[in-house]
Amino acid sequence: MSVIIEDILAGQRAAFRAEGFASAETRRDRLTRLSRAVLVSEAELVDALQADFTNRSPFATRAGDILGSVAAIEYHLDNLESWMTAERVPLSPEVEAHGTFAEVQYQPLGVLGAIIPWNGPVLMGCLAAMGGLAAGNRVMLKMSELAPATGEAFARAISRYFDRSELAVINGDATVAAAFSSQPFDHLLFTGSTATGRKVMRAAAENLVPVTLELGGKSPVIIGESADLGAIANRLVAGKLASAGQVCVSPDYVLAPAGKVEALVGECRRAAEEIFPQMMRNSDYTCLIDGRANARMKALLEEARQKGARLDFVPADVTFDDLPAEGRFPFVLVTGVSDDMAVMQEEIFGPVLPIVGYETVDLALERVASGEHPLSAYYFGEDEAEAARVAAAIQTGSVVINDVRCQLVYEALPFGGVGKSGMGRYRGRAGFVTFSNRKTVLHQKAPEAALARGRPPYSSQAHETICQAIALKKAQYELE
The catalytic site residues sit at: 214, 248
What ranges make up the beta strands (E) of 281-358?
310-314, 331-335, 352-358
**Burial grade of 193 (CB within 10 A; 0-12, 13-18, 19 or more):** middle
Q: Identify the three-state secondary structure at position 186.
A: coil
**Burial grade of 129 (CB within 10 A; 0-12, 13-18, 19 or more):** buried
CA atoms of 329 and 285, how far apart (whole Å): 9
CB atoms within 10 A of CB 290: 16
Residues 6+ apart with CB under 8 A from 426: 127, 128, 131, 189, 212, 214, 414, 415, 416, 434, 435
What phi, psi does 103 have (nearest 5°)? -150, 160
Which one-letter DSSP state was computed for residue 23? Answer: P
CA atoms of 65 and 243, how far apart (whole Å): 12
Are the CB atoms for 134 and 80 separated by under 8 Å?
A: yes
- The Cα-based distances of 102 to 43, 242, 432, 443, 452 in angstroms read 50, 47, 21, 6, 21
